[in-house]
Amino acid sequence: MSAGQDGNAAEVDQAFAGAPQRVGWFRFYFEDQRWEWSEQVQRMHGYEAGTVTPTTELVLAHKHPEDRREVAKTIDEMLLARRAFSTRHRILDTRGVVHQVVVVGDLLTDPPDVVIGTHGYYVDITPSSDRAREDLISARVAEITEHRAIIEQAKEQGYVTTLWGRRRQIPELRARNYQVRMLGERLAVNTVIQGTAADIIKLAMVRCHRALAESELKTRLLLTIHDELLFEGPPAEVSVARELIEREMVGVWEGREPPMAVDVGVGANWMEAK
């Protein structure tokens, strides 16, 4: 049986390193609706390690009354569609203390790549006195959750799009082989991030080329190196060309948040300019 965690779970491990009591793993098996909680998750719910056997009824009993119905609906949909269990809600421990938790789940498969359940992490994001740590955890959870949303959407549509609408098909997400599906998940997330970055630099190239031509400057776009543009021109044009280039590159992102910054270097060669 394949009970190991995938790359997304590894991200969770790294994000919450140093906070062992605030994150723990869970497993849920579809066939017999059997739950498993790590010692940390048991303590999160107020139990001493090894003193509780979680069931769906117990899981729901610990949900905050205002969140219980929504979580129950999520579990029903999970069983029907055989999909991962991921949600954000509140739980009540055995003392009645409220904990804000995020559940980050993924599919659990056996060696022939048959989906048999879901596994992942409970993350206690209840505010504490360590504000910097809380902000880091909240930001990391938001990032991981966003990645999962991209993956789930790609599974439904069969493709992902960049911020500018460029589309890439991800057939790997529907493969029977588990490792190929994991490749598809990485491709889905990376395409949105790296594809959007590629769109930005291509649009910046077009804008800079057009603006330089219209300005009648002798400075010209020479080449692109990943996310850098290399220009060549007479020293007398440095000040004007620099202002124009920075304006056009930032202009690609105009109207979006957060604002984009551009670093501009000047030198007799690329080494000096960097």
The residue assigned the tokens 């006195």 is 129
What pLDDT sits at residue 140? Answer: 65
What pLDDT sits at residue 136? Answer: 65
What pLDDT sits at residue 34? Answer: 94
Query: pLDDT tens for residues 184-197?
Result: 888 998 898 899 99
What pLDDT sits at residue 234? Answer: 94
**CA distances (Å), 44 to each of 23, 54, 73, 274, in order?**
9, 13, 22, 50
CATH T-level fold of 194-273: Alpha-Beta Plaits (3.30.70)
Task: Please determine, for residue 14, whether its predicted confidence score (pLDDT) is greater than 90.
Answer: no
Task: Please determine, for residue 7, whether its predicted confidence score (pLDDT) is greater than 50.
Answer: no
Task: Please determine, for residue 1, whether its predicted confidence score (pLDDT) is greater than 50.
Answer: no
Show contacts of 193-202: CB within 8 Å, 24+ apart: 195/160, 195/162, 195/166, 195/168, 196/162, 196/163, 196/164, 197/227, 198/162, 199/162, 199/163, 199/164, 199/166, 200/227, 200/252, 200/253, 200/260, 201/226, 201/227, 201/229
Residue 4 confidence class, pLDDT cut points 50, 70, 90: very low
Q: Which residues pair with 168 in a beta bridge?
A: 160
CATH entry 1.10.10.10 includes domain 7-154: no
Q: What angle do CA 18, 51, 21 make, to 5 degrees?
A: 10
Domain ranges of the chain: 7-154, 194-273
What pLDDT sits at residue 132? Answer: 62
At 169, list the tokens. 């098909």
- Cut 0.75: pTM above it: no
Query: pLDDT tens for residues 121-171?
Result: 998 988 765 566 666 666 666 666 677 778 888 888 899 999 899 999 999
Residue 257: how many other CB atoms lie within 10 Å = 6
Task: Please determine, for residue 81, whether its predicted confidence score (pLDDT) is greater than 90.
Answer: no
Residue 244 confidence class, pLDDT cut points 50, 70, 90: very high
